């Protein structure tokens, strides 16, 4: 059911408040909730009278579902609707809901009687006095609660001493635990910093030792240190004659160069392990400098001068920087030695690869490319020279291994071949003599070779091979074939052998390609596909190209053959072109 009242003056407000209290009592609202309802409603009605206009109070009953539909609870809703003027000003309605746990026993007549309130001052006064009953009940409940509060306060005071003692024990245990946690965090932080330093040292060492170019190492070192471990890095390498620093370098760097010990130049001592303290540098008086020599077994290679990323270095960071500088020094020293040896080796090998002759009717073009990995010198070689009878010997060989030893052995074989060829002999005979020579001279070294002999009066070419890839012949009509007659075994192996000669026609305009396995062999594919590619490249030229520009043709063969990857073996190519008659 719903009951409404219009409120425009204080009498309307009093009547509405009395009716609401009676209806709440009739619907079984508990006294405490009823007192709260009437107090809240009275405050709201006073606010309505202050704002003026005609307001509307509505009381209605309803139900609210709880945990299940069948567990519904009766409630009483009170709604004060603002006057039109207040509603236009944005005043929202006032709402409140109270439970009616005893509403099931309320009859319609009792509700109607409770909601009827006359505008009689005596009746209103009597209703006001009746409201004191709810207030008295609330005060009684309040007194009971105060008694309970006093009882519990006394209990609390009795247990305070034990609680305080317990708190003291807990505080002491908490402090001990916090100290343990702080020590653990500190140890974990130090361990993490140590792990970070070791990881950085390992990664930086790998970067520095990966290059054999000391200029690249010097360039990479500042990139590794800035900005985490330094804001500035100056690397000073001494000259080969041992000249020491000049006035452009800090005094601490001079001391580090002379003593071989790290130096720390700053206004205050650094306290860094293994580092000597020096006064501030005149070149940088406002910032510390750490000058670390680049040590070697003989004398320092130079000095690395660092500026700190903050006010100063952590001692453990300084130890790591000294160790990194030592490793960088080793990498630079190895790179300089490698560069020196490589220059010597390349000079030696270039000196051994002599210029080719220019016999009548025969054009020769050679190419030699060292491996792109390691020391750029190996045992691949080529040669061409005249024999006393007018013939021309062309040879391509490959001594096993790389380095100076292979180059020296290659030089000895080349010299021996020229000496044997003076006495005449076919390619097979010359290879047989080289086999015996190598076996007795260097029993642990082996070689492969292919020799071709041309004679101006003979329209054929005689060739022989020992463990070497077969020659490739291009005829004047553009056809290409591999001369795959059975070769002899490698030179120098512990066995007796007589290497056979092979003769094929070679008309004017023909081209014979001699080469080493570095040109055609790839680890993933073997040697046969490479020989096929060489044959295709040789067959792609026209007769005029080979006749007029054999050097350019040699480059044209190498480009497609070597475009796939870096080479781990030397490459040697010798083209022998019999000029056309036209």
Do 294 and 385 reside in the same domain of the chain?
Answer: no
First-last CA distance in the chain: 128
Do 326 and 282 reside in the same domain of the chain?
Answer: yes
Q: What kind and span of H or E run contains 563?
A: none
CATH of the domain at 276: 3.30.450.40
Do 334 and 394 reside in the same domain of the chain?
Answer: no
Domain membership of residue 465 (yes or no) is yes
Q: How far is CA 480 from CA 117, 541, 573, in A?
A: 128, 11, 17
Question: In 3-state terms, what secondary structure has residue 414?
Answer: helix
Identify the pLDDT of residue 242: 46
> Which residues on neighbouring strands pair with residue 474, listed in sequence order?
480, 511
Do 75 and 99 reside in the same domain of the chain?
Answer: yes
Last residue of a domain, one of 119, 150, 182: 119
Phi/psi at 130 (nearest 5 deg)?
Answer: -65, -25
Domain membership of residue 172 (yes or no) is no
Last residue of a domain, one of 298, 331, 346: 346
Per-residue pLDDT of the chain (582 residues; tens, 9 = 90+): 788 999 998 888 888 888 888 888 888 888 888 888 888 888 888 989 888 889 999 988 877 766 555 556 788 889 999 988 888 888 899 999 888 876 555 544 455 555 565 566 766 666 666 666 777 777 888 888 888 888 888 888 888 877 788 888 888 888 998 898 988 898 888 889 889 999 999 999 999 988 888 899 999 999 999 998 999 999 999 875 444 445 578 999 999 999 999 999 998 998 899 999 999 988 888 889 999 999 988 788 999 999 998 888 889 999 999 999 999 999 999 998 888 877 776 677 666 677 899 898 999 999 988 775 555 566 788 999 999 988 999 999 998 876 667 777 888 889 999 999 998 889 999 999 999 999 888 788 899 999 999 998 889 999 999 999 999 999 999 999 999 898 999 999 999 999 999 999 999 999 999 999 989 988 777 889 999 999 999 999 987 889 899 999 999 999 888 865 556 678 899 999 998 755
Residue 486 DSSP label: P
Measured at the CA of 532, the angle between CA 529 and CA 538, to 5 degrees, comes to 145
Identify the pLDDT of residue 400: 83
Identify the pLDDT of residue 506: 93
Do 399 and 436 reside in the same domain of the chain?
Answer: yes
CATH of the domain at 519: 3.60.40.10
Q: Tell the residue number behind the tokens 């096929």, with chain if given.
A: 532
Last residue of a domain, one of 67, 94, 119: 119
Do 276 and 369 reside in the same domain of the chain?
Answer: no
Domain membership of residue 238 (yes or no) is yes
Domains contained in the chain, number:
3
Q: Rounded to whole angstroms, how far apart are CA atoms 185 and 8?
A: 73
257 contact partners, CB below 8 Å, separation of at least 6: 238, 244, 245, 293, 300, 302, 303
Task: Work out whether strand 480-482 and strand 2-7 pair parallel, antiparallel, or are unpaired.
Answer: unpaired
Domain membership of residue 395 (yes or no) is yes
Q: Please give, one letter per residue, the 3-state secondary structure of 52-117.
A: CCCEEEEEEEEEEECCCCCCEEEEEEEEEECCHHHHHCCCCCEEEEEECCCHHHCCHHHHHHHHCC
Structural domain including 242 reads 214-346
Domain membership of residue 125 (yes or no) is no
Do 434 and 311 reside in the same domain of the chain?
Answer: no
Q: Please give, one letter per residue, the 3-state secondary structure of 41-56.
A: HHHHHHHHHHHCCCEE
* Cis preceding linkage at 227, omega within 30: yes
Identify the pLDDT of residue 396: 96
């Amino acid at each position: 059911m719903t009951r409404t009242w219009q409120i425009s003056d204080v009498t309307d407000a009093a009547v509405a408040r009395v009716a609401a209290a009676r209806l709440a009592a009739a619907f079984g609202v508990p006294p405490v909730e009823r007192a709260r309802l009437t107090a809240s409603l009275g405050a709201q009605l006073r606010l309505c009278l202050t704002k003026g206009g005609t307001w509307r109070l509505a009381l209605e009953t309803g139900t609210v579902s709880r945990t299940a539909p069948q567990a519904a609870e009766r409630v009483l809703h009170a709604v004060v609707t603002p006057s039109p003027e207040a509603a236009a000003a944005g005043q929202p309605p006032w709402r409140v809901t109270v439970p009616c746990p005893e509403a099931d026993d309320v009859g319609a007549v009792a509700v109607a009687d409770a909601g009827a309130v006359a505008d009689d001052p005596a009746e209103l006064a009597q209703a006001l006095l009746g409201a004191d009953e709810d207030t008295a009940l609330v005060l009684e409940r309040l007194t009971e609660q105060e008694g309970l509060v006093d009882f519990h306060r006394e209990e609390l005071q009795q247990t305070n001493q034990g609680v305080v003692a317990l708190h003291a024990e807990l505080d002491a245990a908490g402090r001990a635990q916090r100290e343990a946690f702080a020590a653990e965090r500190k140890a974990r932080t130090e361990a993490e910093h140590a792990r970070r330093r070791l990881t950085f040292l390992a990664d930086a060492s790998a970067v520095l030792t990966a290059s054999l170019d000391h200029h690249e190492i010097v360039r990479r070192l500042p990139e590794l240190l800035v900005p985490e471990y330094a804001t500035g890095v100056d690397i000073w390498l001494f000259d080969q004659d041992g000249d020491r620093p000049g006035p452009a370098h800090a005094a601490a760097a001079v001391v580090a160069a002379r003593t071989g010990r790290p130096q720390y130049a700053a206004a205050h001592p650094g306290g860094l392990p293994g580092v000597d303290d020096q006064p501030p540098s005149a070149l940088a008086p406002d910032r510390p400098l750490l000058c670390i020599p680049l040590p070697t077994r003989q004398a320092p290679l130079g000095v690395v001068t660092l500026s700190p990323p903050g006010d100063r270095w952590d001692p453990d960071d300084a130890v790591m920087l000294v160790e990194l500088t030592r490793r960088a020094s080793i990498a630079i020293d190895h790179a300089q030695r490698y560069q020196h040896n490589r220059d010597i080796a390349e000079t030696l090998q270039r000196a051994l690869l002599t210029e080719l002759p220019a016999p009548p009717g025969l054009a020769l073009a050679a190419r030699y490319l060292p491996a792109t990995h390691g020391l750029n010198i190996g045992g691949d070689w080529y040669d061409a020279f005249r024999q006393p009878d007018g013939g021309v010997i062309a040879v391509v060989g490959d001594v096993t291994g790389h380095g100076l030893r292979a180059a020296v052995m290659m030089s000895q074989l080349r010299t021996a071949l020229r000496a044997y060829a003076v006495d005449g002999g076919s390619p097979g005979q010359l290879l047989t003599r080289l086999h015996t020579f190598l076996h007795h001279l260097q029993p642990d070294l082996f070689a492969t070779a292919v020799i071709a002999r041309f004679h101006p009066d003979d329209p054929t070419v005689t060739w022989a091979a020992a463990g070497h890839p077969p020659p490739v012949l291009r005829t004047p009509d553009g056809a290409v074939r591999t001369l795959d007659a059975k070769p002899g075994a490698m030179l120098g192996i512990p066995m007796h052998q007589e290497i056979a000669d092979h003769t094929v026609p070679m008309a004017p305009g023909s081209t014979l390609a001699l080469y080493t396995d570095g040109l055609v062999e790839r680890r993933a594919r073997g040697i046969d596909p490479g020989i096929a590619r060489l044959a295709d490249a040789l067959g792609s030229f026209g007769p005029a190209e080979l006749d007029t520009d054999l050097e350019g043709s040699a480059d044209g063969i190498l480009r497609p053959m070597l475009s796939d990857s870096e080479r781990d073996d030397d490459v040697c190519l010798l083209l022998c072109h019999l000029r056309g008659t036209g």
